[in-house]
Chain A
């Protein structure tokens, strides 16, 4: 483990480097409204607004000021947690996005547990028994995981488990929607199908990665040396795990980032009220403030996640020298 002092320095340096990334991301999100064709005001005003209202809004939104000034004002509001108002619903974007993020987090957590567990398991099995039929089966499962369109899989699961067998509900987050969500049996029934659907891609990717890592590590000289010294298999296994962990974690971190972004397709198939569902609604409704706010929050999550993975990786693997 790298020294605590070095870790701290590294973490602070990374935080510093992340700042221009955050600013860059925010600039792109801000410009979305202006890239969209037409007067940005036409996207935020009711269709039959009077000229007086238009002028009022133009001043209120600051569209009469130069672009850099507009950006600074918008960014200042964002720093205070004000992401604007949704055109479609009139509700604050921040509250809508936070509620959706919460729902996606729940789904992503369960999908993570399923995907990472099975992915790692299949990867280890394939790596340890490489070349054998077991390896081929495990590899087949992981390839299928990344190849099958997951929204199609979701629909098939609904047909089998909801419509035909009537075991699980086809849509929604709970018997009363996402309000008052609790991790009880009733609510978990609603998560199972969407979580399985969302877990197949990460499962496939992680299985492939872990298999390659394990196969590579098992071939290295130090493993032969350990075995020659008489270390039992479980001891060797522990060494394989610690050596595979940093890379595997980096891959898992990225996969978690994708899951947190919510899958527009899966959340729409299951009407799961998360960020993907919200993005879908915002796109169709041309709700630019909502779109802007959601994308900004998701992008920032991704940046934070990358930072965390980098720091953890460095902490785990003393061989990685960071500057």
Chain B
């Protein structure tokens, strides 16, 4: 009898103690249609990096995701510091953080950095992975060569002096060479049992359906060891399915709720978190010969045809109307002369001047996606644009593809077969560093396959400004130059400037400790679930 009572007491105590320690399971509904690539250099854009990049992996350079009130900037990650040689500004030295291990227990050293760069850049290396290379190569155009000076130091040489290198390297995730060898040098096997240095370990993975992660208790940054027991990711690309999943309690957090569900979600007790962040939603114009967008009057007319305040109403207030390529309060905004506003009369006038009108109508095709990281609500927003442009005489037809496919078409450039004759692509861009925000879209040398100047835009004047930025190692000087570049973007109406996102998420009130950083990425480590 006594044994029975002891057992019962024992079980009760364990259960209670277990509850005190258990910080819960967070289940997230993503907009991605599949689990992002798990091997290191993930796909699915910013959402992929958010959920499968900075969780399971780190870069030499990470982002500071601890504050909701100030801009997020880069901080040391697997590199404790870096510096550029004063005499030769193409030589960079990175000091490697000591004592870091991968999830499989092997040590992270300078040689691991070299191995990972080879994985992306050298197609003769045994670890070369075409899929990771397709995602990562265009992020580091500056890198010319690299080698390990010793276990704790890596030297990276750039093609030309480039002050934006640390921003580029923040995108490169470090996969474990030892794990790759152990699994028979097979990336498909690695995808099922990945190994990085990040705060989370992937513990379960059902393709297209579900991924589960558990904390890496040996993580090198003790402040960022996750509090949760488990993090679960579920792909739910359909907006209604995401809302149903949240409302029914199947998930605790959804990305990008549909704006017209916001009222009912708030009434039901869910919390909508938003914050400004460096984001730009735009139509990237093709500038290849024959494209209608080569005429500045047509580009300006399109920009003047859009009622951005009306679109904001359509989005239930969840957007910032664009006045340029970066948000109006951004440090690079500058003082452009072209006023991006709603003026359909002026738009029609410009189109007439350009030779178009009822007798010579304009008709074109634009590539869009149905969902995706940073794409906000692509279908209603694009239909709004289609209607606005039709009202000034520009007829637009859409080709709708899945998000990851759109990314591939974006990388392929406007001349590629897959573009199917479209003259613009609806894409959302991060503007959190000079390269991502401004340089990569317009530099002459960065057309496909070298980079993501999708439209093949080339202007020597712009290239000159970009060259000056690369050589501006002083932040104040760099900012002034970036303002000049931004002014040129706006005055030449290089893109269709539409909107900036506010990063909305709908979260259950049980989710505690989340700090929404002003970034495309978020830190899941401080989160815990209330009962």
Contacts and interface: CB of A to CB of B under 8 A. Distances in A.
Interface in B66-116: none
B237 to A, nearest CB: 9
A171 B245 contact: yes
Interface string A257-286: 000000000001111010001100100111
Nearest to A158: B244
Contact of A281 (B249, B402, B408): B402
Nearest to B135: A46
Contact of A171 (B206, B250, B409): B250
Contacts of B448: 47-48
B355 interface: no
A50 interface: yes
A39 B412 CA distance: 14
B248 A166 contact: yes
A281 B33 contact: yes
Contacts of A42: 416-418
Contacts of B33: 281, 284-285
A230 to B, nearest CB: 58
Contacts of B400: 284
A119 interface: no
A214 to B, nearest CB: 40
B131 A37 contact: no
Interface in B400-437: 400-402, 404-405, 408-409, 411-413, 416-418, 420
B188 to A, nearest CB: 6
A50 B417 contact: no
A48 B133 CA distance: 9
B206 A178 contact: yes
A38 B418 contact: yes
A320 interface: no
B328 interface: no
B247 to A, nearest CB: 4
A46 B134 contact: yes
A163 interface: yes
Nearest to B187: A90
Residues of A in contact with B, size category:
35 or more
A90 B190 CA distance: 13
B206 A271 contact: no
B508 to A, nearest CB: 14
Given A170-B248, A172-B250, A47 B241 contact: no
A286 B400 CA distance: 11
B216 interface: no
Interface in B376-403: 400-402
B120 to A, nearest CB: 12
A48 B417 contact: no
B411 A170 contact: no
A48 B249 CA distance: 42
Nearest to A37: B420
Given A48-B138, A172-B250, A268-B238, A91 B244 contact: no
A163 B404 contact: no
Contact of A39 (B131, B206, B417, B449): B417
A285 B404 contact: yes
A171 B240 CA distance: 11
Contact of A166 (B123, B138, B249, B404): B249
Interface centre among A42, A43, A88, A270 (most CB of B within 10 A): A88
A221 interface: no
B194 to A, nearest CB: 14
Nearest to B402: A284
A88 B250 contact: no
A323 interface: no
Nearest to A161: B248
B210 interface: yes
Contacts of B366: none
Nearest to A173: B209
A162 interface: yes
A47 B449 contact: yes
A91 B134 contact: no
B335 interface: no
A286 B131 CA distance: 16
A89 B404 CA distance: 11
B144 interface: no
B238 A172 contact: no
B204 A176 contact: yes
A47 B248 contact: no
Interface pairs A-B: 5 shortest CB-CB = A284-B402, A48-B449, A47-B412, A38-B417, A177-B209
Given A48-B449, A91-B188, 11 more contacts: A37-B420, A42-B416, A49-B449, A90-B188, A158-B244, A162-B250, A163-B247, A176-B206, A177-B206, A281-B208, A285-B33
Interface of A: 37-39, 42-43, 46-50, 53, 88-91, 96, 155, 158-159, 162-163, 166, 169-173, 176-179, 268-271, 273, 277-278, 281, 284-286
7 contacts: A48-B412, A162-B244, A170-B250, A171-B241, A179-B206, A179-B209, A281-B34
